[in-house]
């Protein structure tokens, strides 16, 4: 099928590439000319495992094109996807300016019937706004063209996005139009072969489903971080507790890892946006507000452990910091826990030597060059001249360090482990003080 995708970020690029991979004819449109130019040179501007070779193969096969001019791409499409950002507004609500700008563009140039598919995460009622915006532009042109607006929220995970897109758990289609649902069923048929993964529902329920999914996952994380806080105060080890509860299938193993707080481009903004949306509907959100509060507190906790160890004085200290991305296997640093830790360390007069396998370029873009930050090319280089180590992102390569080497490298012989990667005994046996999250022995 002929597909146009607005927005060539983590969602748009991965979706477009996977649709091309199964044989669809895809045009990706982005207003960021530099991004389009890079993609047309064969460079993939984000790090996502497995994505670059797929982009290349489908470009070479002529099924995947990148443009910045939307006009031709709108004429091309049977289906137009909206996959642009929905960042938080000043009050935490989802900012719809990019979504509605795309709707205006579609309305200004649409000549033939089309299904508009909203993949961006948007508040309930947005499909109605998109529909009204397109209709207003068509009316202003005195043109009548049939179109449908479908809610089709995206559930891919950065770091495993290609896999999620090729083998989705579920495909939510929110629409009351049989024709539109049929078009999406045909589009997704290659991803829907061994069982029916498609869940059809009304538009508003589909829009809310995405927020509910992310809010549920964020709730699990904040719950576990609160248990970690309790464990720390009562002298228990949250890692033991995690194993004790995860084995209950009603609870499960996923998303019960305590840590340095959730980040990324989705959970923080989606929890906030859901809560603001609820309030606009006069609905209280005690649980969601607590989830957010716990997360805010948790993001400061690693630094509190550092302060506690040093008696509140870290001025002049140098910290090796492993991991900048908000989670492993991505270069995304939006709302990453590392950002808060860095700001706090700098504010207290400390210096940082940092290493991340993929996110250093993004960190350079955010922080630039500064005297109190050194970007290192390896985890070992980050240790040179460091007093202590802080681990913020659980990249696999940080999981089994040579503790004898750490003992030799770290002047103050202390590790602050924001992801509970290490066993306290293992670290302490090596002669290094250890602080984890929710490990009662660390107070
Ligand atoms: P992103 O910031 O990586 O990419 C958005 C892209 O849209 C940018 O390249 C930007 O230049 C482009 N854009 C903005 N306005 C445009 C316009 N008028 N025309 C064409 N392109 C335009 O965003 P993302 O992470 O891909 O997220 C997109 C949406 O999907 C958001 O609503 C997000 O909440 C949702 N989502 C994201 C993820 C994720 O893991 N990143 C997962 C599921 C859902």
Q: Domain 202-443 - what CATH class?
A: alpha beta
pLDDT at 169 over 90: yes
Reference 329, options 157, 90, 72; nearest CA is 157
- Most ligand 1 atoms within 8 A of CB, residue of 5, 8, 11 to mutate: 11
Determine whether the shortest distance from the Cβ of 46 to ligand 1 is under 6 A: no
CA distance 418 to 406: 17
pLDDT at 298 over 70: yes
Task: Compute, in angstroms, the gap from residue 213 CA to the centroid of ligand 1.
Answer: 18
- Check residue 440 and give its pLDDT: 85
Determine whether the shortest distance from the Cβ of 8 to ligand 1 is under 6 A: yes
Percent of the chain with pLDDT over 90: 98
Determine whether the shortest distance from the Cβ of 101 to ligand 1 is under 6 A: yes
Structure tokens at 352: 């940082």
Task: Compute, in angstroms, the gap from residue 173 CA to the centroid of ligand 1.
Answer: 19
283 is catalytic: no
Reference 222, options 303, 304, 298; nearest CA is 298
Structure tokens at 161: 């996005």
CA distance 381 to 407: 15
Task: Compute, in angstroms, the gap from residue 98 CA to the centroid of ligand 1.
Answer: 9
Is residue 319 helix, strand or coil?
A: strand
- Check residue 443 and give its pLDDT: 44
Of the listed ranges 14-23, 66-75, 177-186, 380-389, the least confidently predicted one is 66-75
| DSSP single-letter state for residue 241 | H
Are 205 and 171 within 8 A, CB to CB? no
CA angle 334, 374, 314 (to 5 degrees): 90
Task: Compute, in angstroms, the gap from residue 119 CA to the centroid of ligand 1.
Answer: 9
Residue nearest to atom 11 of ligand 1 (CA): 32
Cα within 13 Å of Cα(278), Cβ side: 17
Determine whether the shortest distance from the Cβ of 329 to ligand 1 is under 6 A: no
Determine whether the shortest distance from the Cβ of 158 to ligand 1 is under 6 A: yes
Structure tokens at 157: 């995970």
DSSP per-residue string spanning 407-439? HHH-TT-EEEETT--S-HHHHHHTT-EEE-SSB
Task: Compute, in angstroms, the gap from residue 359 CA to the centroid of ligand 1.
Answer: 19
pLDDT top residue among 72 and 425: 425
CA distance 267 to 299: 14
CA distance 342 to 58: 40
Which candidate in 18, 28, 165, 266 is catalytic? Answer: 266
Under the banding of pLDDT at 50, 70 and 90, the label for residue 140 is very high
Query: Per-residue pLDDT averaged across 26-42, rounded?
Result: 97
Determine whether the shortest distance from the Cβ of 156 to ligand 1 is under 6 A: yes
CA angle 166, 172, 177 (to 5 degrees): 120
Task: Compute, in angstroms, the gap from residue 361 CA to the centroid of ligand 1.
Answer: 20
DSSP per-residue string spanning 58-88? HHHTTSEEEES-HHHHHHH-SEEEE-----B
Residue nearest to atom 25 of ligand 1 (CA): 10
Are 36 and 70 within 8 A, CB to CB? no
CA angle 254, 257, 261 (to 5 degrees): 120
Cα within 13 Å of Cα(100), Cβ side: 12
Q: Which atom of ligand 1 is nearest to the CA of 122?
A: 32
Strands 388-391 and 25-29, bridge-based pairing: unpaired
Residue nearest to atom 14 of ligand 1 (CA): 84
- Check residue 347 and give its pLDDT: 98
Fold of 2-201: Rossmann fold (3.40.50)
Q: What is the residue extent of each domain of the chain?
A: 2-201, 202-443
Under the banding of pLDDT at 50, 70 and 90, the label for residue 441 is low
Determine whether the shortest distance from the Cβ of 344 to ligand 1 is under 6 A: no
Percent of the chain with pLDDT over 70: 99
Determine whether the shortest distance from the Cβ of 331 to ligand 1 is under 6 A: no
pLDDT at 50 over 90: yes
Q: What is the mean pLDDT of the chain?
A: 97
Q: Which atom of ligand 1 is nearest to the CA of 266?
A: 34
| CA distance to 12, 139, 143, 399, per residue, from 271 (Å) | 22, 36, 39, 30
Strands 351-355 and 373-375, bridge-based pairing: parallel
Query: Per-residue pLDDT averaged across 161-185, rounded?
Result: 98
Determine whether the shortest distance from the Cβ of 38 to ligand 1 is under 6 A: no
- Check residue 72 and give its pLDDT: 86
């Amino acid at each position: 099928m002929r597909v146009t995708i607005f927005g060539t970020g983590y969602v748009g690029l991965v979706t477009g590439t996977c649709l091309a991979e199964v044989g669809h004819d895809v045009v990706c449109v982005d207003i960021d000319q530099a991004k389009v130019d890079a993609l047309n040179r064969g460079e993939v501007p984000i790090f996502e495992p497995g994505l670059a070779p797929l982009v290349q193969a489908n470009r070479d096969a002529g099924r995947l094109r990148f443009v910045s001019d939307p006009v031709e791409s709108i004429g091309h499409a049977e289906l137009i996807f909206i996959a642009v950002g929905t960042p938080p507004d000043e009050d935490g609500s989802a900012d719809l300016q990019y979504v509605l700008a795309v709707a205006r563009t579609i309305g200004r140039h649409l000549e033939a019937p089309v299904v508009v598919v909203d993949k961006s995460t948007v508040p309930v009622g947005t499909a109605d706004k998109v529909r009204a915006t397109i209709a207003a532009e068509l009316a202003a042109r005195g043109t009548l063209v049939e179109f449908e607006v479908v809610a089709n929220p995206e559930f891919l995970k950065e770091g495993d996005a290609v896999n999620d897109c090729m083998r989705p758990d579920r495909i939510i289609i929110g629409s009351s139009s049989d024709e539109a649902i049929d078009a999406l069923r045909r589009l997704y048929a290659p991803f829907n072969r061994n069982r029916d993964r498609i869940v059809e529902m009304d538009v508003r329920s589909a829009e809310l489903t995405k927020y509910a999914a992310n809010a549920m996952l964020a709730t699990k994380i904040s719950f576990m971080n609160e248990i970690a806080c309790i464990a720390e105060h009562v002298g228990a080890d949250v890692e033991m507790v995690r194993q004790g509860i995860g084995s209950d299938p009603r609870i499960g193993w996923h998303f019960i890892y305590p840590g340095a707080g959730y980040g990324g481009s989705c959970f923080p903004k989606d929890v906030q946006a859901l809560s603001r949306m609820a309030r606009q509907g006069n609905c209280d959100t005690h649980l969601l507000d607590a989830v957010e509060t716990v997360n805010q507190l948790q993001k400061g906790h690693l630094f509190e452990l550092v302060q506690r160890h040093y008696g509140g004085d870290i001025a002049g200290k140098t910290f090796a910091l492993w991991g900048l991305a908000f989670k492993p296997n991505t270069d995304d640093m939006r709302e990453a826990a590392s950002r808060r830790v860095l700001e706090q360390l700098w504010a207290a007069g400390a210096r940082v030597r940092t290493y991340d396998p993929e996110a250093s370029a993004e960190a350079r873009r955010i922080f630039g060059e500064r005297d109190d930050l050194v970007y290192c090319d390896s985890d070992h280089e980050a240790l040179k001249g460091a007093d202590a180590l802080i681990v913020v992102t659980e990249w696999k390569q940080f999981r089994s360090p040579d503790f004898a080497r750490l003992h030799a490298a770290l002047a103050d012989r202390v590790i602050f482990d924001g992801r509970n990667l290490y066993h306290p005994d293992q670290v302490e046996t090596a002669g290094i003080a250890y602080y984890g999250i929710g490990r009662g022995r660390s107070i």
